[in-house]
Amino acid sequence: MALRHAVLAALLHGEYSGYQLTKVFDVGVANFWYAAPQQLYAELTRLEHDDLVTGREVVQQNRPNKRVFTITDDGLAELRRFATAPAKPLALRDDLAVKVHAVDRLDPEPVIEQLEERAATAAVKLAFYERTMRDLRGDLDERSFLRQGRGIGPYLTCQAGHRLEQQTREWCLTTADLLRLRARTEKTV
């Protein structure tokens, strides 16, 4: 049950509604954890039942009311317990890599296209992380912020996401180029 901890970690940095969390998990936290909206709502319900978060109704005009959640002391304790337990190895599952692994026996064209799409979405994420990091840093340069700033956790995970997307983008582009090159030379041979 680790989605639980991802949600608790996200709630450390403020109050969020289920809907807002879906946005965060869609892109920001998606860096290290993805979850579908249905999962988040269900998990928030369970967390509230276990008194690890508390919800309160926010009445809005002009749009539907929402429930926002805050982490409780018990929730923080649970997060601390989790942090001292040994970390599971990173779980990674990638369709596209499976296709590249098999590319010798496939038509390379669709794989090349998908590599380029992946590179493009990586570029979008890169820009997002850069912007987020600028916002988190405020006026400080990165070095000073990391040494003296408050709240570096989210910054550090953004850095990890940034590096990941950067290397993803490079690998996708060079791999796509290479497969194109080979497809051309095969035709001419």
Partner DNA sequence: GCCTCATAGTCAAATTGTTGAATAATCAGA
Partner DNA sequence: TCTGATTATTCAACAATTTGACTATGAGGC
| Footprint on residues 49-78 left by DNA (CB under 7 A) | 60-67
CB closer to DNA, 37 vs 149: 37
Per CB under 8 A, the list member of 123, 136, 164, 173 interacting with a copy of itself is: 164
Per CB under 7 A, the list member of 15, 30, 37, 136 interacting with DNA is: 37
| 168 touches a copy of itself (CB under 8 A) | yes
Token couple for 31: 């860096």
| Footprint on residues 106-125 left by a copy of itself (CB under 8 A) | 106-107, 110-111, 114, 117-118, 121
CB closer to a copy of itself, 140 vs 181: 181
In angstroms, the Cα distances linking 12 to 28, 80, 103, 131 are 14, 12, 44, 21
In angstroms, the Cα distances linking 160 to 1, 87, 129, 135, 157 are 23, 17, 10, 16, 5
d(CA 55, CA 82): 22
d(CA 157, CA 163): 10
| Footprint on residues 50-69 left by a copy of itself (CB under 8 A) | none
Contact assessment for residue 51 and residue 74, using Cβ atoms and an 8 Å cutoff: yes
Q: HSE (CB half, 13 Å, CA atoms) of 100?
A: 20
Per CB under 7 A, the list member of 12, 23, 54, 155 interacting with DNA is: 23
Contacting positions for a copy of itself (CB under 8 A) = 2, 5-6, 8-10, 12, 29, 31-34, 76, 79-80, 82-84, 86-107, 110-111, 114, 117-118, 121, 146-147, 150-154, 156-157, 159-160, 163-164, 167-168, 170-171, 175, 178, 181-182, 185
